[in-house]
Chain A
Amino acid sequence: MSDTNSPDSVPQKQPIRKMTRRHLLQYGGALAAVTFVGPVLSACGGDQGRRGQGGTPTTGPAAAPTNLTTAGGVTPTAAEAMGGATPPEGGAATTVAATPGTTATGQSYNARTDVAGTITFWHFWGSPVRRTAIRRVIAGFEQTYPNIKVNEQFVPFGDIWTKNIAAVAAGRGMPDVIVEDRPQLRARAENNIDISLGELAQRDGITGDAFWPFTWQEATVDGVPYGLPYETDIRVLYYNKAAFRDAGLDPNKPPKDWNDLEAYSNKLDQRSGNKLERIGFFPTIGNIGLDQWGWMNGGQWQTEDFEPTINAKENIETLAWMKKWTDRYGKKNIDAFTATFGQGPEDPFMSGKVAMKVDIQGYTSFLNFYNPKFTTKGGEELSGEEGYGVAAIPPAPGHKPASLSGGFALSIPRGSKNQEAAWEFIKYLTFVGQASWARDTYGMPTIEKLARTDPELKAQPNWEFFVDAMSYGRPAVYNPAYPSMLEVLGPAVDAVMLGRQTPEQALNEAQRKAEAEIRRQRR
């Protein structure tokens, strides 16, 4: 799949016999066509032998007889369970409290600490904060389950699900537990990639009551779970208090609506010539896009019957509003400005280039880790909550805030050989591990009570604000016939920002694309 030139076909430089040379060069083209295109065609075909795998009925854990007793046996105190005390004998089930050392959160689950085996766990948490956090959780698990060894593997975000699907299709090489993108989990379940956890959940009395309702809904198909929700999130506005002070704005008065965003930016923007030095705000910088802005203008992307409503009036207005921001700074300037953004402390917010930026609540852990100094004109360095504030994402005037709640789920890919151990791992991470995970990463726990009551989480001054923001959080748009439907928005936004299409044209086209795709899938 490369467009570089293949050096293997160098023609002979010596004079060669007429016939041969002519043929070599004439048919070289035809031959090259087959040589180059062949692998592309074959790469899409895959191996015919694999087809048999598809037809194999799922060997869910339900098929395997379980000799484990049900809950109600030994119930050690939380501290014992966590301290790696002698595991209960004779295949007894154990109740492990969710938050060791405190009963405040009150979560518990039925643990089978005698299950043995080695499991492979795939995740994409490679940043220093998250890698450390997941390792801590795993260390706790291995103490509670001395007979289970966890082989933790980092797989980049862009590869993890494709790699898993390839492994499931091949019938080997899949992990025992994988972190799934929760909004896409139903599509994975329907494609037969992750196994149903319904019987295991039923056996262990897991009903989903403990979770934020939408997280459980995303993890289930017709009420049957295909993963346990692990971590959710909520998007909020982060703003730079030092920049606010310099601009003569009250650092305790974040913008309330789109009008404020504009008025504040008028004061916050800094240019040198045409070049942007700092901007107040830009609608596509940060963890947000047209889909969420549309919500905040009262827009919807599909009906309850999953008919797309992409070109609804509210959405067109929203895109027109976004275009106004592009015109404000100039497309070329904003592109050049965006290209200077880096990662970590060089990101647009921490580097002070963008004064107001939308990100998830977990961004707090990065602000803690890199501890950027927000410097005022007077040279005063503000750090921590002195330096930045959080607020609800400003909606269109007269509308209510809305925010996307995404997150993940822990699932067992079809073909995993250690489903019992994998299931114990999933339960532990969800009901116990999420406490330490959330404290380290400020990931919003999927267990509502834990999120609301954990004292260590509440020690972070903005935590209660984050939990309150969950009240207007919305799950990602999911269309069963077109799981990644909102991908049609990207090109539409680009075309409008470039001035190639009006918002109406672009969204009409996006609507047509989505409709065509859905028609194709339903046929």
Chain B
Amino acid sequence: MARLAASRPSRAEKKPFLTPRRREALTGYIFALPFIFGFLALTLGPMIFSLYASFTEYNIVNPPEWIGLGNYDFILRYDEEFRISLKNTIYYVILKTPLVISISLVLAMLMHIDLPGQRYFRTIYYLPTVLTGVAAIFLWVWVLNPEGLLNRGLGLLGISGPNWFFDPAWSKPGLIVMGMWYIGSPILIFLAGLNGIPTQLYESAEIDGAGPLRKFWNITIPMLSPTIFFLVVTNIIGAFQVFNSAYVVSTTAHASAGAPAQSLLFYEVYLYIRAFQHLEMGFASALAWILFAIVMVVTAIQLWLAKRWVYYES
């Protein structure tokens, strides 16, 4: 989209309204229009309502009842589940994001090598992303069963595998292992980034005698830094919102959301329990806004940090 925006404005049109800058802005807005429309028409209204609901007691059947800061007060001062779920979620974010970024970068670089049949590899690695959903999670519960495929495989190597989703110390790592199946999208984004690095940079580095590691650290990483930054931001936000896999795994293996020992009680799992098992929509809305605030702060910090390490070719 940005490429179209960059198309050269004709010099004949010197009307102040369509300066190249404005023209670019206008094009941008037109491209963003579907999102803006959807946001205003479908998301903004309910968001404002949920902000209102967060100050009420609301079970969706009866009208909301204003209780001021009651929900926030309880959550921040007394709610142990809130603390547990936030802790679990932060653990998950911290463990998962670097793994996703590094593994997908390595795979993207492997796929970037010019080899015959490379397109098939790319398809194969992207395929699981298309197969997301509850059915695939069921499959993983089976693979990560204490006597399942993975542990049998480990057993052949002489390793006694953990009980994964039955052991609170291993349930989150299990979920992360399972999540690695879905790294098709970051791989794709990295591939796009790698394609954007001008080959002459590598060529001149080679002439200067740079080895592969040197090229990786001094060319690939800086040139990819905007892409890495983008993926870090979106993956952290995504990881904060982990829900489907945790919910399905814990209810399948234990019939109770968040089990075992509340180790899979992630923020949104807790939010779901409050909203849809207890019907406390006001409370759940307050939880959602607290998460929103946390994610906003984390993202703002990243935007600020980005100035120090993200390199925009200029």
Which residues does A use to contact B, with CB under 8 Å? 1-7, 9-22, 24-26, 28-30, 32-48, 50-51, 53-55, 158, 162, 165-166, 168-169, 191-193, 332, 335-336, 338-340, 414, 484, 490-491, 494-495, 498, 500, 509, 512-513, 516, 520, 523
**With A46-B281, A168-B61 in contact, is A15–B234 under 8 Å at CB?**
no
The minimal Cβ–Cβ distance linking B252 to chain A, given in whole angstroms, is 11
**Assembled-state Cα–Cα distance A47/B78 (Å):** 29
* B237 surroundings in chain A (CB, below 8 A): 32-33, 36-37
The minimal Cβ–Cβ distance linking A273 to chain B, given in whole angstroms, is 12
Q: Is the Cβ of B285 less than 8 Å from the Cβ of A44?
A: yes
Task: Say which one of B11-19, B113-121, B209-217, B222-230 lies at the interface with A.
Answer: B222-230
The answer, among B70, B145, B234, for a CB contact under 8 Å with A9, is B234
17 pairs from A and B in contact (CB 8 Å cutoff): A1-B241, A4-B182, A7-B185, A9-B230, A12-B1, A20-B24, A22-B312, A25-B227, A25-B229, A33-B296, A36-B234, A37-B292, A38-B43, A45-B50, A45-B51, A46-B60, A51-B64
The answer, among A13, A55, A162, for a CB contact under 8 Å with B192, is A13
In the complex, the chain B residue whose C-beta lies closest to that of A50 is B60
**With A51-B63, A51-B64, A193-B61 in contact, is A40–B6 under 8 Å at CB?**
no
Q: Is the Cβ of A191 less than 8 Å from the Cβ of B230?
A: no
* A168 surroundings in chain B (CB, below 8 A): 61
* B173 surroundings in chain A (CB, below 8 A): none
**Assembled-state Cα–Cα distance A509/B239 (Å):** 29
Q: Is the Cβ of A6 less than 8 Å from the Cβ of B234?
A: yes
Q: Is the Cβ of B226 less than 8 Å from the Cβ of A21?
A: yes
Q: Is the Cβ of A1 less than 8 Å from the Cβ of B268?
A: yes
* A54 surroundings in chain B (CB, below 8 A): 61-63
7 pairs of A and B residues whose beta carbons are closest in the complex: A45-B50, A42-B46, A29-B233, A5-B185, A494-B261, A45-B49, A335-B166
* A33 surroundings in chain B (CB, below 8 A): 233, 237, 295-296, 299
In the complex, number of A-B residue pairs with CB atoms less than 8 Å apart: 256
The minimal Cβ–Cβ distance linking B84 to chain A, given in whole angstroms, is 8
In the complex, the chain A residue whose C-beta lies closest to that of B307 is A26
* B39 surroundings in chain A (CB, below 8 A): 34, 38
Q: Is the Cβ of A335 less than 8 Å from the Cβ of B163?
A: yes
**Assembled-state Cα–Cα distance A124/B310 (Å):** 55
Which residues does B use to contact A, with CB under 8 Å? 1-3, 5-6, 24, 28, 35, 39, 42-53, 59-64, 70, 74, 78-81, 96, 100, 129, 132, 145-147, 163, 166-168, 179, 182-186, 188-189, 192-193, 195-196, 198, 226-227, 229-231, 233-235, 237-239, 241-245, 251, 253, 256, 259-262, 268, 271, 275-279, 281, 284-285, 287-289, 291-292, 295-296, 299, 302-303, 306, 310, 312-314
Q: Is the Cβ of B35 less than 8 Å from the Cβ of A35?
A: yes
7 additional contacts (CB under 8 A) given A6-B234, A44-B288, A336-B147: A3-B179, A4-B238, A5-B100, A41-B50, A158-B251, A340-B147, A520-B70
**Assembled-state Cα–Cα distance A312/B226 (Å):** 58
Q: Is the Cβ of B50 less than 8 Å from the Cβ of A12?
A: no
**Assembled-state Cα–Cα distance A484/B276 (Å):** 13
| Prevailing SS type, chain A contact patch | helix
**Assembled-state Cα–Cα distance A285/B193 (Å):** 53
In the complex, the chain B residue whose C-beta lies closest to that of A491 is B262
* A7 surroundings in chain B (CB, below 8 A): 129, 184-185, 188
**Assembled-state Cα–Cα distance A38/B237 (Å):** 12
Q: Is the Cβ of B132 less than 8 Å from the Cβ of A21?
A: no
* B50 surroundings in chain A (CB, below 8 A): 41-42, 44-46
The minimal Cβ–Cβ distance linking B261 to chain A, given in whole angstroms, is 4
The minimal Cβ–Cβ distance linking A79 to chain B, given in whole angstroms, is 44
In the complex, the chain B residue whose C-beta lies closest to that of A17 is B6
* B292 surroundings in chain A (CB, below 8 A): 37, 40-41
Q: Name the residue in A34, A495, A516 with the highest tally of chain B Cβ atoms < 10 Å from its Cβ.
A: A34
In the complex, the chain A residue whose C-beta lies closest to that of B144 is A339
In the complex, the chain A residue whose C-beta lies closest to that of B303 is A29
Q: Is the Cβ of B43 less than 8 Å from the Cβ of A39?
A: yes
* B281 surroundings in chain A (CB, below 8 A): 44-46
**With A28-B233, A41-B289, A332-B167 in contact, is A3–B241 under 8 Å at CB?**
yes
The minimal Cβ–Cβ distance linking A516 to chain B, given in whole angstroms, is 5
In the complex, the chain B residue whose C-beta lies closest to that of A414 is B61
The answer, among B132, B147, B234, B256, for a CB contact under 8 Å with A490, is B256
The answer, among B62, B184, B245, B291, for a CB contact under 8 Å with A3, is B245
